[in-house]
Structure 1
Protein backbone atom coordinates (compact mmCIF):
# COMPACT_ATOMS: atom_id res chain seq x y z
CA UNK A 1 0.00 0.00 0.00
CA UNK A 2 1.13 3.52 -0.80
CA UNK A 3 0.23 6.47 1.40
CA UNK A 4 0.14 10.24 1.59
CA UNK A 5 -0.92 12.95 4.01
CA UNK A 6 -2.37 16.36 3.23
CA UNK A 7 -3.69 19.37 5.15
CA UNK A 8 -7.34 20.44 5.27
CA UNK A 9 -9.38 22.92 7.28
CA UNK A 10 -10.06 20.07 9.75
CA UNK A 11 -6.41 19.04 10.05
CA UNK A 12 -4.06 16.61 8.32
CA UNK A 13 -5.69 13.55 6.71
CA UNK A 14 -3.91 10.34 5.74
CA UNK A 15 -4.78 8.15 2.74
CA UNK A 16 -3.59 4.71 1.69
CA UNK A 17 -4.28 3.02 -1.64
CA UNK A 18 -3.49 -0.10 -3.62
CA UNK A 19 -3.80 -0.97 -7.28
CA UNK A 20 -7.43 -1.92 -6.55
CA UNK A 21 -8.46 1.31 -4.84
CA UNK A 22 -8.59 3.25 -1.60
CA UNK A 23 -7.64 1.07 1.37
CA UNK A 24 -7.24 3.48 4.29
CA UNK A 25 -8.40 6.91 5.44
CA UNK A 26 -7.11 8.41 8.66
CA UNK A 27 -9.02 11.35 10.04
CA UNK A 28 -7.03 14.24 11.51
CA UNK A 29 -5.28 13.69 14.83
CA UNK A 30 -3.77 16.33 17.10
CA UNK A 31 -0.55 14.30 16.96
CA UNK A 32 0.57 14.33 13.33
CA UNK A 33 3.51 12.02 14.09
CA UNK A 34 1.08 9.43 15.48
CA UNK A 35 -1.06 9.77 12.35
CA UNK A 36 1.95 9.14 10.13
CA UNK A 37 2.97 6.14 12.26
CA UNK A 38 -0.52 4.62 12.02
CA UNK A 39 -0.61 5.25 8.28
CA UNK A 40 2.67 3.36 7.80
CA UNK A 41 1.59 0.21 9.64
CA UNK A 42 1.76 -3.07 7.81
CA UNK A 43 4.62 -2.02 5.56
CA UNK A 44 2.81 0.88 3.87
CA UNK A 45 5.14 3.41 2.27
CA UNK A 46 4.78 7.00 1.14
CA UNK A 47 3.95 7.25 -2.54
CA UNK A 48 3.05 9.67 -5.28
CA UNK A 49 -0.75 9.86 -5.46
CA UNK A 50 -2.27 8.85 -8.80
CA UNK A 51 -4.76 11.26 -10.36
CA UNK A 52 -7.79 9.60 -8.77
CA UNK A 53 -6.21 9.98 -5.29
CA UNK A 54 -5.39 13.64 -6.00
CA UNK A 55 -9.03 14.13 -7.00
CA UNK A 56 -10.14 12.45 -3.76
CA UNK A 57 -7.82 14.71 -1.78
CA UNK A 58 -9.50 17.73 -3.38
CA UNK A 59 -12.94 16.38 -2.46
CA UNK A 60 -11.84 15.81 1.14
CA UNK A 61 -10.50 19.38 1.25
CA UNK A 62 -13.91 20.57 -0.02
CA UNK A 63 -15.67 18.47 2.64
CA UNK A 64 -13.50 20.04 5.35
CA UNK A 65 -14.58 23.45 4.05
CA UNK A 66 -18.25 22.47 4.47
CA UNK A 67 -18.98 21.84 0.79
CA UNK A 68 -21.35 18.96 -0.01
CA UNK A 69 -19.24 16.15 -1.47
CA UNK A 70 -20.12 12.75 -2.93
CA UNK A 71 -17.54 10.00 -2.40
CA UNK A 72 -19.64 7.23 -3.99
CA UNK A 73 -17.46 6.85 -7.09
CA UNK A 74 -14.17 6.30 -5.23
CA UNK A 75 -12.71 2.85 -5.99
CA UNK A 76 -12.38 0.88 -2.76
CA UNK A 77 -10.08 -1.99 -1.86
CA UNK A 78 -12.15 -4.03 0.60
CA UNK A 79 -10.06 -7.17 0.24
CA UNK A 80 -9.29 -8.95 3.46
CA UNK A 81 -12.34 -7.53 5.24
CA UNK A 82 -15.06 -9.78 6.66
CA UNK A 83 -18.04 -10.33 4.36
CA UNK A 84 -20.47 -8.78 6.86
CA UNK A 85 -18.37 -5.63 7.08
CA UNK A 86 -18.26 -5.35 3.28
CA UNK A 87 -22.06 -5.69 3.13
CA UNK A 88 -22.52 -3.05 5.85
CA UNK A 89 -20.12 -0.65 4.12
CA UNK A 90 -21.84 -1.16 0.78
CA UNK A 91 -25.19 -0.32 2.38
CA UNK A 92 -23.74 2.74 4.08
CA UNK A 93 -22.36 4.09 0.80
CA UNK A 94 -25.97 4.84 -0.14
CA UNK A 95 -26.17 7.55 2.54
CA UNK A 96 -25.11 10.90 1.17
CA UNK A 97 -24.35 14.32 2.56
CA UNK A 98 -26.54 15.09 5.58
CA UNK A 99 -28.35 11.74 5.60
CA UNK A 100 -28.15 9.57 8.69
CA UNK A 101 -29.30 6.16 9.82
CA UNK A 102 -29.12 4.12 13.00
CA UNK A 103 -27.32 0.92 13.88
CA UNK A 104 -30.73 -0.78 14.17
CA UNK A 105 -31.97 0.47 10.80
CA UNK A 106 -28.80 -0.83 9.18
CA UNK A 107 -29.15 -4.17 10.96
CA UNK A 108 -32.74 -4.52 9.70
CA UNK A 109 -31.63 -3.67 6.16
CA UNK A 110 -28.92 -6.34 6.48
CA UNK A 111 -31.50 -8.93 7.46
CA UNK A 112 -31.90 -8.96 11.26
CA UNK A 113 -32.34 -6.23 13.87
CA UNK A 114 -30.27 -8.47 16.16
CA UNK A 115 -27.23 -7.53 14.10
CA UNK A 116 -27.08 -4.01 15.60
CA UNK A 117 -23.94 -4.79 17.62
CA UNK A 118 -22.33 -6.38 14.58
CA UNK A 119 -23.08 -3.19 12.63
CA UNK A 120 -21.43 -1.21 15.43
CA UNK A 121 -18.38 -3.46 15.26
CA UNK A 122 -18.18 -3.02 11.49
CA UNK A 123 -18.40 0.76 11.87
CA UNK A 124 -15.68 0.71 14.55
CA UNK A 125 -13.42 -1.29 12.22
CA UNK A 126 -14.09 0.90 9.17
CA UNK A 127 -10.70 1.44 7.47
CA UNK A 128 -11.99 4.37 5.40
CA UNK A 129 -14.05 6.73 7.59
CA UNK A 130 -15.57 9.68 5.77
CA UNK A 131 -15.44 7.91 2.39
CA UNK A 132 -17.39 5.02 3.93
CA UNK A 133 -19.45 7.41 6.06
CA UNK A 134 -19.69 5.61 9.40
CA UNK A 135 -20.10 9.02 11.05
CA UNK A 136 -23.65 8.98 9.62
CA UNK A 137 -24.68 6.02 11.80
CA UNK A 138 -26.33 7.06 15.06
CA UNK A 139 -27.69 5.37 18.15
CA UNK A 140 -31.44 4.63 18.18
CA UNK A 141 -32.07 7.64 20.43
CA UNK A 142 -30.61 10.02 17.84
CA UNK A 143 -27.41 10.54 19.82
CA UNK A 144 -23.95 10.11 18.37
CA UNK A 145 -23.16 6.69 19.77
CA UNK A 146 -19.54 5.61 19.46
CA UNK A 147 -16.85 6.75 17.06
CA UNK A 148 -13.39 5.19 16.97
CA UNK A 149 -11.57 8.05 15.21
CA UNK A 150 -9.41 10.56 17.09
CA UNK A 151 -11.66 12.81 19.15
CA UNK A 152 -14.37 10.13 19.43
CA UNK A 153 -18.00 11.22 19.41
CA UNK A 154 -17.01 14.91 19.38
CA UNK A 155 -15.36 14.36 15.98
CA UNK A 156 -18.48 12.56 14.74
CA UNK A 157 -20.65 15.47 15.88
CA UNK A 158 -18.34 17.97 14.19
CA UNK A 159 -18.49 16.05 10.91
CA UNK A 160 -22.28 15.82 11.06
CA UNK A 161 -22.56 19.52 11.92
CA UNK A 162 -20.61 20.28 8.72
CA UNK A 163 -23.38 18.40 6.91
CA UNK A 164 -26.15 20.29 8.72
CA UNK A 165 -27.19 17.38 10.96
CA UNK A 166 -28.15 18.15 14.55
CA UNK A 167 -27.39 15.33 16.98
CA UNK A 168 -30.15 14.41 19.41
CA UNK A 169 -33.04 15.26 17.07
CA UNK A 170 -36.15 13.11 17.40
CA UNK A 171 -35.58 9.90 15.37
CA UNK A 172 -38.17 10.72 12.70
CA UNK A 173 -36.44 14.01 11.99
CA UNK A 174 -32.83 12.89 11.72
CA UNK A 175 -32.56 13.15 7.95
CA UNK A 176 -34.01 16.64 7.97
CA UNK A 177 -31.67 18.18 10.56
CA UNK A 178 -34.52 19.53 12.77
Structure 2
Protein backbone atom coordinates (compact mmCIF):
# COMPACT_ATOMS: atom_id res chain seq x y z
CA UNK A 1 0.00 0.00 0.00
CA UNK A 2 1.22 3.46 -0.86
CA UNK A 3 1.45 5.98 1.95
CA UNK A 4 2.06 9.69 1.56
CA UNK A 5 2.65 12.92 3.42
CA UNK A 6 2.57 16.55 2.40
CA UNK A 7 5.25 19.01 3.45
CA UNK A 8 5.87 22.70 3.00
CA UNK A 9 8.94 24.04 1.19
CA UNK A 10 10.19 27.37 -0.13
CA UNK A 11 8.60 26.47 -3.49
CA UNK A 12 5.24 25.42 -1.99
CA UNK A 13 3.48 22.33 -0.64
CA UNK A 14 5.10 19.14 -1.91
CA UNK A 15 4.14 15.52 -1.41
CA UNK A 16 6.10 12.34 -0.94
CA UNK A 17 4.86 8.78 -1.44
CA UNK A 18 6.61 5.71 -0.14
CA UNK A 19 6.38 1.96 0.11
CA UNK A 20 8.44 -0.78 1.67
CA UNK A 21 11.42 -0.16 -0.68
CA UNK A 22 11.72 3.61 -0.31
CA UNK A 23 10.27 6.71 -1.91
CA UNK A 24 8.07 5.96 -4.90
CA UNK A 25 7.22 9.54 -5.87
CA UNK A 26 7.86 13.17 -5.00
CA UNK A 27 5.10 15.55 -6.01
CA UNK A 28 6.10 19.15 -6.66
CA UNK A 29 3.64 21.89 -5.66
CA UNK A 30 0.36 22.14 -7.52
CA UNK A 31 -0.39 25.67 -6.30
CA UNK A 32 -2.01 24.79 -2.97
CA UNK A 33 -1.88 22.07 -0.35
CA UNK A 34 -5.33 20.84 -1.40
CA UNK A 35 -4.36 20.61 -5.09
CA UNK A 36 -1.10 18.82 -4.26
CA UNK A 37 -3.02 16.29 -2.12
CA UNK A 38 -5.59 15.83 -4.91
CA UNK A 39 -2.81 15.19 -7.48
CA UNK A 40 -1.18 12.59 -5.22
CA UNK A 41 -4.52 10.84 -4.74
CA UNK A 42 -5.30 10.99 -8.49
CA UNK A 43 -1.97 9.32 -9.26
CA UNK A 44 -2.22 6.87 -6.33
CA UNK A 45 -5.89 6.04 -5.71
CA UNK A 46 -6.36 4.62 -2.24
CA UNK A 47 -3.06 6.00 -0.91
CA UNK A 48 -3.15 6.72 2.81
CA UNK A 49 -1.99 10.06 4.20
CA UNK A 50 0.01 9.17 7.31
CA UNK A 51 2.76 10.41 9.55
CA UNK A 52 6.05 9.54 7.85
CA UNK A 53 8.33 6.93 9.40
CA UNK A 54 11.78 8.16 10.52
CA UNK A 55 13.60 7.55 7.22
CA UNK A 56 10.91 9.39 5.25
CA UNK A 57 10.83 12.20 7.85
CA UNK A 58 14.60 12.57 7.37
CA UNK A 59 14.11 12.68 3.56
CA UNK A 60 11.43 15.37 3.96
CA UNK A 61 13.72 17.38 6.23
CA UNK A 62 16.57 17.13 3.70
CA UNK A 63 14.37 18.09 0.73
CA UNK A 64 13.01 21.04 2.71
CA UNK A 65 16.52 22.15 3.71
CA UNK A 66 17.70 21.90 0.08
CA UNK A 67 14.79 24.07 -1.05
CA UNK A 68 15.80 26.54 1.71
CA UNK A 69 19.22 26.85 0.08
CA UNK A 70 21.31 24.34 2.06
CA UNK A 71 23.87 22.49 -0.07
CA UNK A 72 22.68 18.90 0.39
CA UNK A 73 23.13 16.18 -2.23
CA UNK A 74 20.28 13.88 -1.03
CA UNK A 75 22.25 10.81 -2.14
CA UNK A 76 21.37 9.03 1.09
CA UNK A 77 17.63 9.08 0.33
CA UNK A 78 16.42 5.67 -0.82
CA UNK A 79 14.14 5.60 -3.85
CA UNK A 80 12.20 2.58 -5.05
CA UNK A 81 13.25 2.02 -8.66
CA UNK A 82 11.26 -1.20 -8.99
CA UNK A 83 9.24 -0.07 -12.00
CA UNK A 84 11.79 2.34 -13.47
CA UNK A 85 13.28 1.24 -16.84
CA UNK A 86 17.03 0.52 -16.82
CA UNK A 87 17.91 3.46 -19.09
CA UNK A 88 16.03 5.83 -16.78
CA UNK A 89 17.86 4.40 -13.76
CA UNK A 90 21.19 5.17 -15.41
CA UNK A 91 20.08 8.72 -16.26
CA UNK A 92 18.82 9.24 -12.69
CA UNK A 93 22.09 7.97 -11.22
CA UNK A 94 24.10 10.53 -13.19
CA UNK A 95 21.57 13.27 -12.44
CA UNK A 96 21.67 12.54 -8.70
CA UNK A 97 25.44 13.10 -8.78
CA UNK A 98 25.06 16.72 -9.97
CA UNK A 99 25.84 18.82 -6.88
CA UNK A 100 23.57 21.65 -5.76
CA UNK A 101 24.51 24.86 -7.55
CA UNK A 102 25.81 23.01 -10.62
CA UNK A 103 24.19 21.92 -13.86
CA UNK A 104 24.74 19.57 -16.78
CA UNK A 105 23.15 19.51 -20.21
CA UNK A 106 21.09 16.67 -21.64
CA UNK A 107 23.95 16.07 -24.06
CA UNK A 108 26.54 15.89 -21.28
CA UNK A 109 24.47 13.24 -19.52
CA UNK A 110 24.16 11.32 -22.80
CA UNK A 111 27.94 11.50 -23.18
CA UNK A 112 28.46 10.22 -19.61
CA UNK A 113 26.15 7.35 -20.44
CA UNK A 114 28.45 6.49 -23.34
CA UNK A 115 25.58 7.23 -25.70
CA UNK A 116 26.36 10.48 -27.54
CA UNK A 117 23.39 11.58 -29.57
CA UNK A 118 20.82 10.36 -27.03
CA UNK A 119 20.13 13.77 -25.45
CA UNK A 120 16.47 13.58 -26.45
CA UNK A 121 16.09 10.18 -24.76
CA UNK A 122 17.76 11.64 -21.65
CA UNK A 123 15.19 14.45 -21.71
CA UNK A 124 12.35 11.96 -21.99
CA UNK A 125 13.71 9.95 -19.04
CA UNK A 126 13.97 13.10 -16.95
CA UNK A 127 10.47 14.15 -18.01
CA UNK A 128 9.24 10.89 -16.48
CA UNK A 129 11.26 11.37 -13.27
CA UNK A 130 9.04 10.29 -10.37
CA UNK A 131 11.41 11.76 -7.75
CA UNK A 132 12.02 15.45 -8.53
CA UNK A 133 14.15 17.20 -5.90
CA UNK A 134 15.73 13.83 -4.93
CA UNK A 135 16.68 13.18 -8.56
CA UNK A 136 17.39 16.84 -9.38
CA UNK A 137 16.19 16.99 -12.97
CA UNK A 138 15.93 20.77 -12.57
CA UNK A 139 19.76 20.82 -12.75
CA UNK A 140 19.73 19.59 -16.35
CA UNK A 141 19.69 22.23 -19.07
CA UNK A 142 19.50 22.33 -22.83
CA UNK A 143 22.60 22.81 -24.98
CA UNK A 144 24.16 26.23 -24.56
CA UNK A 145 22.64 26.63 -21.09
CA UNK A 146 19.05 27.00 -22.30
CA UNK A 147 16.30 26.11 -19.86
CA UNK A 148 15.14 23.05 -21.73
CA UNK A 149 11.78 21.90 -20.54
CA UNK A 150 10.37 21.06 -17.15
CA UNK A 151 7.26 18.95 -16.99
CA UNK A 152 6.55 19.64 -13.32
CA UNK A 153 3.79 22.03 -12.25
CA UNK A 154 4.85 25.60 -12.94
CA UNK A 155 7.06 24.41 -15.79
CA UNK A 156 10.28 26.28 -16.43
CA UNK A 157 9.36 28.91 -13.79
CA UNK A 158 9.57 26.23 -11.09
CA UNK A 159 12.85 24.96 -12.53
CA UNK A 160 14.33 28.47 -12.48
CA UNK A 161 13.17 29.08 -8.90
CA UNK A 162 14.87 25.88 -7.79
CA UNK A 163 18.09 26.81 -9.62
CA UNK A 164 18.08 30.29 -8.04
CA UNK A 165 17.59 28.79 -4.56
CA UNK A 166 20.55 26.46 -5.16
CA UNK A 167 22.74 29.24 -6.56
CA UNK A 168 23.10 27.64 -10.01
CA UNK A 169 21.84 30.84 -11.60
CA UNK A 170 22.01 34.34 -10.14
CA UNK A 171 18.36 35.31 -10.57
CA UNK A 172 15.27 34.42 -12.48
CA UNK A 173 15.33 36.16 -15.84
CA UNK A 174 12.59 38.66 -16.53
CA UNK A 175 10.40 37.51 -19.39
CA UNK A 176 8.99 40.16 -21.71
2:135 aligned residue (105, 116, 132): 132
Which residues of 2 match residues 60-79 of structure 1 at below 5 A?
60-79=63-82
How far is the alpha carbon of 1:34 from its aligned partner?
Answer: 2.6
Counterpart of 2:3 in structure 1 is 2
Task: Answer with 39-48 or 70-79: which moved more.
Answer: 39-48
Counterpart of 1:89 in structure 2 is 92
Cα distance in structure 2, aligned partners of 1:68 and 1:120? 25
Cα distance in structure 2, aligned partners of 1:104 and 1:35? 32
Task: Answer with 110-119 or 27-36: which moved more.
Answer: 27-36
Secondary structure of the residue that 2:20 maps to in structure 1?
coil
Secondary structure of the residue that 1:114 maps to in structure 2?
coil
Cα distance in structure 1, aligned partners of 2:37 and 2:59? 19
Secondary structure of the residue that 2:118 maps to in structure 1?
helix
Which residues of 2 match residues 3-152 of structure 1 at below 5 A?
3-40=4-41, 41-43=43-45, 44-152=47-155
Unmatched tracts of structure 2, length 5 or more: 171-176
Task: Answer with 28-37 or 103-112: which moved more.
Answer: 28-37
Q: Deviations over 1:120-156 (max 9, x none)?
A: 0001000000100100100011011100111111111
Task: Answer with 21-30 or 130-139: which moved more.
Answer: 21-30
Cα distance in structure 1, aligned partners of 2:61 and 2:155? 25
Q: Deviations over 1:62-117 (max 9, x none)?
A: 12221212200101101111111111101111111112100001111112222111
Say whether the 8 Å CA contact 2:67–2:166 is kept in structure 1.
Answer: no
TM-score (norm 1): 0.89
CA RMSD, 1 decimal: 1.4
Unmatched tracts of structure 1, length 5 or more: 168-178
